[in-house]
Structure 1
Amino acid sequence: MNHSLGIVFIALLFYIGSASSQQPADPAFGLKLTAAVSAPVITLADTSYPRPFPEYDFERTSIVPWRAAVIGGALTTVFVGLDIYQRNSWWKGQRGEFHIAPDNDYALQVDKVGHFFGGALSTFIGKKSAQWTGFSDDASTWVGAFIGTTFELWVEYQDGFATDWGFSPGDAIMDVAGALYPVAQHYLPPLAAFQPKFSYYPSDDLLEGRHKGGNIIDDYQGQTYWMGIHVHELLPSSWKP
């Protein structure tokens, strides 16, 4: 089961809420929202990360207590809120014994790509939050990965108790791979040129009520996952103007 779309909306709230107070860009992990002909495109990118606040030091951790309290409260609220929501929607009336249910033939593997993107985006939220509290760039990368991995695996673990779902090893692997992708980008700069993207436009089945479940999270016909490549960043310096 792919919960990535809900995480996308949460990430946008975090980004939009803090962007208005940020300063000119420094190179690091960033998020872009651009318009497409048919749908919005959400892009994870290691380009032009704004300084979280004027005194922020990318090289040194200096935690601001009130910022840490705000982020701690916000993340706790998000985690608890999502748990309450999913217990009253996805998992409602389905509590049973924990079981493993491989689903490698589900949705032509599109859901696995979604789990990868969701994991990467969860890490983005965690890293951005950690930087806003004053963690250095290196430290916040690992804090973000911890938050992203923990959140994604928590959801998968709870799925294991749902009678209609079950714990999917394939989903968990892609969650972790996605959560660690920003870490790889941080330490392997060429990977910053490869930017996962997501766009969505409701499918005809969903709009006409033929989609099983009737929700956008599993509307894979309407979801598109892209890999943007900044070719310029991969070229030798002598080839660049």
Structure 2
Amino acid sequence: MKNKIRAAALMGLCWCLLHQTLQAQPIPLTSAATSTPEQTGIRQGRFIGVVIGTAAFYTITLLMLRKQWYKKKVPFHSFNDNREWLQMDKVGHGATAYCMSRGGYELMRWSGVNEQASILTGGLLALLFQTTLEVYDGHAEGWGFSKGDMVANVAGTALFMGQQYGAGQQVVSLKYGFRKTIFPPYRPNLLGKTTGQQMLKDYNGQQYWLSVNLASVLPVGPSFPRWLNLDVGYSGSGMIGGHENPRAFDRDGNEVKFERYRQFFISPDADLSRISTFSPSLQRFIGTAQFFKIPAPSLEFNRLRGLRFHPLILPKE
């Protein structure tokens, strides 16, 4: 459920940025290699649109959630889910909070709000949305307020805000990847029946990447590509239950057992928002939309199969 909510929030942020970016782009009269400097000062029309759009998105989302998923309210309670899904859910919370913080920041900057206020606003918006969901979970039957989720939410927000305050850029960013796995057919209601559902529910198919911009951390020359990143990824496999796997059977009635294990990856990546030929508005949209990892060759290590090389996309398993 919370995966669906997080995905809807991210899609909403990306759509807002894309819509506003397209509206802001004039038909180019000069070479595409020439970028237009960003105007300074609050752009009143943009700012009002962003404020109204953000407030409407927050209000409508919460009303829909209360109607669809939080119908039966119980006394506030908490639960500990820190050991579930090999901590994939916690990493996902951190990545989502990071992306929402960055999206809110980019919207504020696009509206002409100054740097310091935009950083603070982006972080607070992300925490407001995520905290509201956790409070709702605390009153929901079958769920509960998760301290682990809140720690992850704060960590993701802090990763964005700390870098933007301290370095004025995102040297390190968090990204998401996905590949189809063999596990959903064994528990389709839990892991998803369609590819779209599996992208949100199947933790075996999700990867989360810590993406480092090489030009920002290495003593490189001016000819070095500023968009080149190196990513370190994490995922889990063999999971058809949160804490442990229930008994599962194939189509012939034979029992199937899966071993749960962690996977670690390393892969090159591209930060397209650092391409200087793009306009500032387009760079802002790309910076948020690039929450999704670009497919690229990778090395994987896990305790069952050791070191493996993947030419482009991760294999189905």
Distance across 1 between alignment mates of 2:158 and 2:97: 8
- Mapped to 1, the partners of 2:189 and 2:182 lie a distance apart of 9
Say whether the 8 Å CA contact 1:190–1:233 is kept in structure 2.
no
CA shift for structure 1 position 213: 6.6
- The structure with the largest alpha-carbon Rg is 2
Matched, 1:166 2:144: yes
Counterpart code for 2:19: G
How far the C-alpha of 1:102 sits from its partner, in A, is 1.4
Residues 1:9 and 1:200: Cα distance change in structure 2 (over 3 Å): farther
Over 3 Å counting, the alpha-carbon distance change for 1:190 and 1:227 in structure 2 is: farther
SS at match of 1:212: helix
Preserved CA contact (<8 Å) 2:116 2:165: no
Q: Match for residue 5 of structure 1?
A: 7
TM score, norm. by length of structure 2: 0.58
Q: Output one character per residue of 1:54-87: Cα deviation in whole Å (capped at 9) or x when no partner.
A: 6632xxxx33333232112211221122113322
Cα 1:234–1:85, aligned 2, differ >3 Å: closer, same or farther?
A: same
Q: CA deviation at 1:11?
A: 2.3
Distance in 1, matches of 2:170 and 2:24, equals 22
| Superposition CA RMSD, Å | 2.8
CA distance in 2, matches of 1:235, 1:190: 17
1:121-160 matches, within 5 Å, as 121-160=99-138
Q: Residues 169-189 of structure 1, C-alpha deviation per residue, up to 9 Å, x if partnerless?
A: 000111111122211111333
Equivalent residue, structure 2, for 1:28 = none
1:184·1:191 contact (CA, 8 Å) conserved in 2?
no
CA–CA separation in structure 1 for the residues paired with 2:148 and 2:109 = 31
State the percentage of identical aligned residues: 25
CA distance in structure 2 between the aligned counterparts of 1:206 and 1:83, rounded to whole angstroms: 29
- For 1:68-79, what aligned pairs fall within 5 Å after superposition? 68-79=47-58
Higher relative contact order structure (alpha carbons within 8 Å, sequence separation ≥ 6): 1
**Change beyond 3 A, Cα 1:136–1:101:** same
Q: Which runs of 5+ in 1 are unaligned?
A: 24-49
Match of 1:64 in 2: 43
**1:47 aligns to what?**
none
Aligned ranges 1:1-241 → 2 under 5 Å: 1-2=2-3, 3-21=5-23, 56-57=39-40, 62-93=41-72, 95-189=73-167, 192-206=170-184, 210-212=188-190, 214=192, 215-216=197-198, 217-236=200-219
State the AA in 2 paired with 1:127: Y
Number of corresponding residues: 209
Letter in 2 for 1:13: W
Return closer, same or farther for 1:172/1:209 CA change in 2, 3 Å cut-off: same
Q: 1:77 to 1:206 in 2, by over 3 A?
A: farther
TM-score norm. by structure 1 comes to: 0.75
